[in-house]
Homo-oligomer: A and B are copies of this chain.
Amino acid sequence: MASIYDVAKLARVSTATVSAVANGQDKVEPRTRRRVLAAIKKLHYQPNLYARNLARGKTCLLGLIVSDIANPFFGEVTQSIRQEAQACGYELSLASTQFSGEDLVLAVKRMLGMRVTGLAIMTTEMTAEVLEILQASKTPAVFEDVGTVSETISNIRIDYDGGIFKAVRYLVDLGHRRILFVRTYPESTEQERPLLSISLRTQAFLKVVKQFESSRVEPEIVSYTGPGPKAGQLAIQKAFDERKEFTAAIAIADPVALGVLHGLHRRGLRIPEDISVVGFDNSYLCEYLHPPLTSVDIPRGRLGKMVVDCLISNIEGKHAGRELVLETNLVVRESATCLIETSRAHLGRSGKSLGRPLDLR
């Protein structure tokens, strides 16, 4: 591929001039500029980014590391971050770890190798090594949930407590007392320490339930390992096998809710007449499920904006690292309804409920 020298020669100017033109500086005489532009076009010149970044000594590059890019939630967040970053004149480089701690370390190193100006880490897994590397590099970074704030490190805490509180209160208000929390772990994680985001959500559930003790709410939890939907389905099966009693279920994430719904359907249970279900993430799917899924929303757009703002204000020295909280909201659809005593179809009686659902729309 043509280099800046080739262009310079063809246009009969110096490389400095070509550089000026290529970077849109205005100190070049129109005639010269045209010559250079013509040469660039003719040779299909494309500046070598490595040389450019090396010479510039800085990058205008943000990095983003997620656990699973195939998860639509992170896809959406990625879009949002990219957009924000671009608006601020930054590129975004993306990496995905498949929930592997090793891959995380590799990804972080690679990002540092690329001399990212700021790094967002939105993974469920985390290792001490990563923290150390990052701390040492002094690269501004922002975590989701798992961060400890320092001079260069910020943390965006998603308000799981708030979201789950809203979900539980909603179910309690509908009359539910026996609430099942369906939790799943990604495959590769079993032997590692439990993923923080998962324990955070679980803790939030437990904490919230405690607040409703006076209403005599009885929590149950099932866990299962595997990809979301499958694990959700099997978890529900397990819950029945273990004779857990519940009239409502909260899934730790929407893909899990998908499996829960499916498992319930398969069992001949109707939703919400027999069992109410609430998801978590408010993915675009929710609206289109059958029934449409009530879910706790994590506002992706705000998340993206927060991430970029946080990073850039740290980069520009406006702020040290800080802890930000992202609010969550319950989006009510049709998958949860009023508890009718007779609707406990799954507790060993007939597969059909006699209860009439209340329409809450």
Instruction: List residues of chain A with CB under 8 Å of any chain B CB.
Output: 1, 44, 46-54, 68-72, 75-76, 78-79, 82, 91, 93-94, 96, 98, 109-110, 112-115, 133, 136-137, 227, 229, 233, 258-259, 261-262, 265, 284-285, 287-290
Contacts and interface: CB of A to CB of B under 8 A. Distances in A.
Nearest to A75: B70
Contact of A288 (B136, B137, B259): B259
Contacts of A53: 50
B261 A133 contact: no
B70 A79 contact: yes
B94 A287 contact: no
Contact of A1 (B49, B98, B115): B115
Given A70-B78, A75-B75, A136-B44, A290 B289 contact: yes
A114 B48 CA distance: 6
A102 to B, nearest CB: 13
A288 B258 contact: yes
Contacts of A78: 69-70, 96
Contact of A96 (B44, B79, B288): B79
Nearest to A93: B93
Given A136-B44, A290-B262, A79 B75 contact: no
A275 to B, nearest CB: 14
Chain A interface mostly helix, strand, loop or mixed? Answer: helix
A76 B96 CA distance: 12
Contacts of A47: 113
A113 B2 CA distance: 11
B82 A75 contact: no
A111 to B, nearest CB: 9
A69 to B, nearest CB: 5
A19 to B, nearest CB: 14
Contacts of A289: 289-290
B46 A137 contact: yes
A70 B136 CA distance: 33
Nearest to A229: B288
Contact of A290 (B50, B72, B290): B290
Given A75-B72, A290-B261, A1 B51 contact: no
Contacts of A68: 75
A96 B76 CA distance: 12
A51 B227 CA distance: 40
Contacts of A261: 288, 290
Nearest to A292: B262
A50 B57 CA distance: 10
A229 B70 contact: no
Given A70-B79, A72-B75, A285-B258, A48 B115 contact: yes
9 contacts: A1-B137, A44-B133, A44-B137, A47-B113, A49-B115, A70-B76, A72-B75, A91-B110, A94-B94
Contacts of A284: 227, 229
Contacts of A112: 1, 46
A44 B233 CA distance: 45
